[in-house]
């Protein structure tokens, strides 16, 4: 009888949750009986009925979804959705997965809810994910850092980080998985300055070459006039 009672409560709760979902037709979150999201449970909460799981989840800022444990009357709050981690949605006859109906905090939008990668954010948020700064914890070490996600590449754009990763005299270009620092004109190697007055330069033979940061200036020698690249004697 206890099992039948739990089953009736389950059916009633599913009916109530379906009514709530019907009021939010644009939501993609659905309930999946016989499945549970594994690996992202951060809290277990005792409840009187399955629909209370969703109420409990909506009161928690970082709750993304939950698993209801049939017969045990408690729910597991998750920090991910099945969209973000489809590979973690696994068969479980004693549980069923419930997506949060409304008010879900976007993954990576706050330091308390960091994503593992930019790609995970795109999977979680779909069309709402745009290239901007997000909170990430790639090593899942419990520490968040604010990075710029390029959602076209689905990768961290190190070039748009909070700190200049390249030298001030170099240009940064982002690629998938890494980045390149290319010295600006007038600089070489480990972003060291090139003395353009050494070797070949554009100054006239009767001009003095003055080295400047990243460039050089030509100045006609005394007795000559011109722009430094072309100098003529003042008296023929």
Mean of pLDDT values over 114-123: 96
According to DSSP, residue 137 is labeled -
pLDDT of residue 20: 47
Question: What confidence tens digit (pLDDT) does each residue in 139-189 have?
Answer: 889 999 999 999 999 999 988 876 778 888 898 888 877 788 889 888 887
More confident residue, 201 or 125: 125
Confidence of residue 4 (pLDDT cuts 50, 70, 90): low
**Section 187-210 average pLDDT:** 70
Tokens of 140: 């899942």
pLDDT in tens, 13-27: 454 445 544 444 444
pLDDT band at 29; cut points 50, 70, 90: low
Greater confidence, 67 or 200?
Answer: 67
Q: Do the Cβ atoms of 41 and 76 come closer than 8 Å?
A: yes
- State residue 226's pLDDT score: 82
Q: What is the pLDDT of residues 45-92, one digit of tens each?
A: 999 988 899 999 999 999 999 999 998 889 999 999 999 999 999 999
Per the model's pLDDT, the better-predicted residue between 4 and 120 turns out to be 120
pLDDT score of 75: 96
Q: What is the pTM of this model?
A: 0.66
What is the overall mean pLDDT for the chain? 83
**Overall average pLDDT of the 81-105 stretch:** 95
Q: Residue 100: is its pLDDT beyond 50? A: yes
In the prediction, which pLDDT does 133 show? 96
Q: How far is CA 37 from CA 13, 43, 61, 108, 138, in A?
A: 20, 13, 18, 19, 20
Q: What are 122-136's pLDDT values in tens digits?
A: 999 999 999 999 999
Mean pLDDT of 103-107: 96
Q: Decide if pLDDT at 8 tops 80.
A: no
84-88 CB contacts, 8 Å cutoff, 24+ apart? 84/115, 84/120, 84/121, 84/123, 84/124, 85/37, 85/39, 85/40, 85/120, 85/123, 86/123, 88/37, 88/38, 88/39, 88/40
């Amino acid at each position: 009888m206890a099992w039948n009672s739990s089953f009736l409560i389950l059916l009633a709760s599913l009916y109530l949750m379906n009514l709530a979902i019907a009021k939010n037709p644009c939501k993609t979150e659905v309930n999946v009986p016989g499945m549970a999201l594994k690996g992202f449970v951060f809290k277990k909460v005792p409840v009187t009925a399955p629909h209370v799981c969703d109420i409990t989840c909506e009161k928690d800022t970082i709750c993304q979804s939950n698993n209801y444990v049939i017969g045990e009357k408690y729910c597991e709050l998750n920090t991910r959705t099945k969209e973000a981690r489809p590979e973690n949605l696994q068969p479980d006859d004693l549980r069923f997965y419930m997506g949060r109906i409304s008010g879900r905090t976007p993954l990576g939008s706050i330091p308390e809810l960091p994503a593992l990668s930019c790609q995970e954010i795109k999977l979680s948020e779909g069309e709402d994910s745009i290239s901007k700064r997000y909170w990430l914890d790639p090593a899942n070490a419990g520490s968040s850092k604010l990075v710029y996600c390029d959602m076209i590449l689905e990768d961290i754009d190190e070039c748009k980080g909070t700190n200049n990763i390249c030298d001030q005299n170099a240009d940064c270009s982002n690629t998938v998985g890494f980045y390149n620092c290319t010295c600006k004109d007038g600089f070489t190697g480990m972003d060291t300055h090139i003395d353009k007055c050494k070797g070949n330069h554009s100054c006239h033979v009767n001009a003095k070459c003055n080295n400047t940061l990243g460039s050089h200036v030509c100045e006609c020698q005394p007795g000559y006039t011109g722009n430094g690249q072309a100098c003529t004697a003042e008296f023929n």
